[in-house]
Structure 1
Amino acid sequence: MEETISLKELFETLKKRLLLIISITAIAGLVSGVVSYFFLTPIYQASTQILVNQAKNDQAFYSPSEVQTNLQLINTYNVIIKSPAILDKVADDLDLGVNARQLNEKINVGSEKDSQVVNISVQDPSPDTAALIANKTAEVFQKEITNIMNVDNVSILAKAEVAENPSPIKPRPLMNVAIAIVVGLMAGVGIAFLLEYFDNTIKNEQDVEKELELPILGIIAQIDDQKLEELKARRAARNSRVRGETIGS
Structure 2
Amino acid sequence: MEETISLKEIFEVIKKRLLMIFLFIIGAALIAAVVSYFILTPTYQSSSQFIVNQKQQDPDMQVNVNDIRTNVELINTYNVIIKSKAILEDVAEELSLSYNAGQLSEKVQVSSEQNSQVVTVTVTDPSQELATKIANTTVEIFQKKTPEIMNGVDNIGILSEAEVSANPSPVAPKPMLNIAIAVVLGAMVGVGLAFLLEYLDNTITTEEDIEKKLGIPILGTISHVKDEDIRGDHLAFRKNAVKRGGFNGTQKKTI
State the TM-score, normalized to the length of structure 2. 0.89
Q: Which residue of 2 aligns with 1:144?
A: 145
Equivalences for 1:93-132 in 2 at 5 Å? 93-132=94-133
Q: SS at the partner of 1:110?
A: strand
Q: Which amino acid aligns with 2:169?
A: S
Provide the identity percentage.
52
Q: Which residue of 2 aligns with 1:228?
A: 230
Distance in 2 between residues matched to 1:64 and 1:12, nearest whole Å: 69
Q: Which residue of 1 aligns with 2:21?
A: 21
Further displaced range: 1-10 or 123-132? 1-10
Q: Which amino acid aligns with 1:182?
A: V
Residue 193 of structure 1 pairs with residue 195 of structure 2: yes
Q: Which residue of 2 aligns with 1:49?
A: 49
Further displaced range: 89-98 or 142-151? 89-98
Residue 159 of structure 1 pairs with residue 172 of structure 2: no
Q: SS at the partner of 1:62?
A: coil
Which string of whole-angstrom CA distances, capped at 9 and with x for unpartnered residues, describes residues 202-249 of structure 1? 1111111111111101111233444221333467789997xx99x99x
Gaps of 5+ in 1: none
Distance in 2 between residues matched to 1:234 and 1:70, nearest whole Å: 100
| Structure (1/2) with the larger helix percentage | 1
Q: SS at the partner of 2:131?
A: helix
Q: Which amino acid aligns with 1:100?
A: A
Q: SS at the partner of 1:114?
A: coil
Distance in 2 between residues matched to 1:235 and 1:223, nearest whole Å: 17
Q: SS at the partner of 1:123?
A: strand
Distance change (3 Å), C-alpha of 1:163 and 1:237: closer
Q: SS at the partner of 1:220?
A: coil
Distance in 2 between residues matched to 1:61 and 1:78, nearest whole Å: 27
**Per-residue deviation at 1:54?**
2.5
Distance in 1 between residues matched to 2:101 and 2:114, nearest whole Å: 28
Distance change (3 Å), C-alpha of 1:138 and 1:230: same
Distance in 1 between residues matched to 2:240 and 2:216, nearest whole Å: 40
Aligned length: 245
Gaps of 5+ in 2: none
**Per-residue deviation at 1:65?**
1.4
Which string of whole-angstrom CA distances, capped at 9 and with x for unpartnered residues, describes residues 101-122 of structure 1? 1111110111111111111010
Distance change (3 Å), C-alpha of 1:6 and 1:223: farther
RMSD over equivalenced CA pairs, Å: 2.2
Equivalences for 1:166-205 in 2 at 5 Å? 166-205=168-207
Runs of 4+ in 1 over 4 A off after TM superposition: 55-58, 234-241
**Per-residue deviation at 1:186?**
0.9
Distance in 2 between residues matched to 1:209 and 1:232, nearest whole Å: 37
Distance in 1 between residues matched to 2:166 and 2:27, nearest whole Å: 36
Residue 216 of structure 1 pairs with residue 218 of structure 2: yes
Q: Which residue of 2 aligns with 1:34?
A: 34
Q: Which amino acid aligns with 1:121?
A: T
Distance in 1 between residues matched to 2:64 and 2:241, nearest whole Å: 118
Q: SS at the partner of 1:36?
A: helix
Residue 78 of structure 1 pairs with residue 79 of structure 2: yes
Residue 9 of structure 1 pairs with residue 17 of structure 2: no
